[in-house]
Structure 1
Amino acid sequence: MPLNLVDSHCHLDMLDLAEFDNDMANVIAQANDNQVSDFLSIAVDLESFPRILETAKKFPNVSASVGLHPCHVPESQVSVTQLTALADDVKVIAIGETGLDYYMNDGSDPLGEDFAWQRERFRVHIQTAIKTGKPLIIHTRDAREDTLKILEEENAHKIGGIMHCFVEDIATAEKALAMGFYISFSGIVTFKNAKSIQEVAKVVPDERILIETDSPYLAPVPMRGKKNQPAYVAYVAEYLADLRGTSVEHIAKITRDNYFRLFSLEKTL
C-alpha cells in the first residue's frame, strides 16, 4: 500500500523547472513515484502568489498559502483587508509564511527600526488568519521570544497553525504546542549536527507532528548538497521513523492525518 506522504511546506514556484523538462507535472509525478501525494505550496511574497495559486488550481492535491515572508522587502507592508481578499479562494488553506527573522543582514535591521516592521507585519498575518479561519505558517529564526510573545498577544491559539522547519528547543516547542500549533520537521533534522532538533523530534506528540521539504532548500540526507524537491520528503519520514523507533508507515499516517485535520481537508486517496 502506498504511503501517501504529505509535503506540508514547499516552494513549487521556486523550483528550477528546467530540471523537470519545464513542466510542473513532472515535479508532481516524481513526488508521486516517491509516494508523496499532497503538497502545500507556500507563498513568500505577493508578486509570486498568482503563480502559486494557478499551480494549486491545476493540480488537485496541491494547496496554497498567501503571505509575506519576514525577510521580504522591509518597505512592503500589507493590510488585513488585502490579505483577506487574496485568501478568499478554496485552494488557499493557510496564511503565511509569516513570523520573525532577526538573523537577516547579520542581525541588523536595514531600516534601523529594530525590526518593528517585521513585528507589525506578523501581527497583520495573525489577525488575517483568525479572521479567515485559515491556519498560520510560522517562520522564526533568532527571534523565538518575540515570536511566542506576539503569538500570545494576538491570540493565535484561536487559529493555530504550523511551526515550520522547526529548529528551536524543547521549551519553545512546548509553548507552541500549548497554543495549538503543530511542529514540522524539514531535512535539517537529518543533519549530523542537528542533535538538539532531533531531541525535539523524538518527543513531539504523534498528533502534532508534520514533515516538509522547504524545497528547493535544505535537501535531507542522503540528498544533502542537491536542490531539494517534494519527492525528498520521503527521506525525512524515513529518518523520523528511525529516530522515534517506529515505522515509516506510521509516520506517513500520522503526518497525513495531522495535515488533513489541521486544514479541514477531505482526503482524496
Structure 2
Amino acid sequence: MLFDTHTHINDEVFDKDFPDVLNRAKEVGVDQMVVVGVDRPTIERVFPIIDQHKHIYGAIGWNPEDAIDMTEDDFQMIKHELGHPGIVALGEIGLDYHWDKSPKSVQHDVFRRQIRLAKEAGLPLIIHNREATEDVARILREEHAETIGGVMHCYSDNWEWAQKFIDLNFYISFGGPLTFKNAQLQRETAAEVPLDRLLIETDCPFLSPHPFRGKRNEPARVHLVAEKLAELKNMSFEEIAKVTTENAMRCFHI
C-alpha cells in the first residue's frame, strides 16, 4: 500500500484519461493520495475529486509564485473551504525566489497569513520552497508552525536543513528527482532522514521519475520513488511502503 502525498491530478492534462490514471495507480498499490489546489481554478477542481473518491484527500492553499494575485476574496474562500471534511492540509504554500512575478515582501505576507489560518483550523502545512530555504525556516519558526507541523514537499536541500525542519515538526517528502542521475544531494539527505519522518510523492504531472523523466508524471509512478528509497535505506519495498503510508496517515491526521 502506497500513499502519494502530493499530486495535481486536478490538472487539465488528466482530463482525457482520469479514470485510467487512477486505475494504473491502484494496480501498483497506490491506495491513497492527496490532490493539491494552489489557486482559485485548481482549488475548485479539488472538491469534485475528493467528494467522489473516498481515499483521495485534499489540500488547498495559495502558491507563492502567484502571491501577488491573491485577493481578500481568495483568502476568505480558502478559509471557508478548509472546513470541508476531505481537506487534510493547507498548502502548498511557501516561498519561491526562482520566479520574479511576486515580490518577496508580498510572498512573506501571504505565507504568514496562511500559516496563521492553518493554525486556526488545526491543519498541517504543505510547504513549497524554491531557492528560499533560510527565509522559509525563519518564517516557520517565527510563526510557531511547529504547533501544526506538516510536509516539506519535494525536498531538495541538504541534511542539515532537513534536521532543522524536522525539529519544527515537519516530515521530509521525496519525489521523482530522487531517481535522477544528478540528484546525489537528495539521495544523501534521504539516507539520513529518520524513518518516522519520511514521505513519498509524485508532484504529478511534474517531475516524472527515471526512466520517464520529461514525460507526464502520474500517481502510479510513486512506486519508483519508494523503490529508490528502499534501496537507499537498505530495506524492502514493502517496509518502505508501510512506513511512508503510516507517516502520511499520522501527518494528515487520517
Q: If the TM-score is normalised by the length of the shorter chain, which range does it land in? A: over 0.9
Contact 2:57 2:88 in 1 (8 A): yes
Inter-partner Cα distance in structure 1 for 2:76 and 2:172:
28
Equivalences for 1:106-145 in 2 at 5 Å? Answer: 110=101, 113=103, 115-145=104-134
1:15-48 deviation digits (Å, cap 9, x = unpaired): 5235xxx352222111001111101001111222
Aligned to 1:6: 3
Q: Which runs of 5+ in 1 are unaligned?
A: none
Aligned to 1:251: 240
Contact 1:46 1:67 in 2 (8 A): no
1:84 aligned partner, one-letter code = K
Contact 1:67 1:83 in 2 (8 A): yes
Counterparts in 2 of 1:171 and 1:159: CA distance versus 1, 3 Å: same
1:29 aligns with 2:18: no
Taking structure 2 as the reference length, the TM-score comes to 0.95
1:102-136 deviation digits (Å, cap 9, x = unpaired): 0114xxxx46x4x1000000001110111101100
1:30-88 deviation digits (Å, cap 9, x = unpaired): 10011111010011112221211110110111000111111125232457654321101
Taking structure 1 as the reference length, the TM-score comes to 0.90
For residue 229 of structure 1, the aligned residue among 213, 218, 221 is: 218
1:50 aligns with 2:44: yes
Inter-partner Cα distance in structure 1 for 2:87 and 2:68:
24
Q: Which runs of 5+ in 2 are unaligned?
A: none
More helix by share: 2
1:184-235 deviation digits (Å, cap 9, x = unpaired): 0000011111111111100111111000000000000122121100000000
**Aligned with 2:68: secondary structure?**
coil
1:143-165 deviation digits (Å, cap 9, x = unpaired): 00100000001000000000000
Contact 1:130 1:159 in 2 (8 A): yes
Q: Report the alpha carbon displacement of residue 169 of structure 1 after superposing the two structures with TM.
A: 1.2
**Aligned with 1:7: secondary structure?**
strand
2:81 aligned partner, one-letter code = L
Aligned length: 253
For residue 91 of structure 1, the aligned residue among 72, 83, 86 is: 86
Counterparts in 2 of 1:13 and 1:80: CA distance versus 1, 3 Å: closer
1:74 aligns with 2:63: no
**Aligned with 2:62: secondary structure?**
coil
Q: Which moved more, 1:146-155 or 1:8-17?
A: 8-17
Contact 1:212 1:233 in 2 (8 A): yes
Q: Which moved more, 1:134-143 or 1:216-225?
A: 216-225
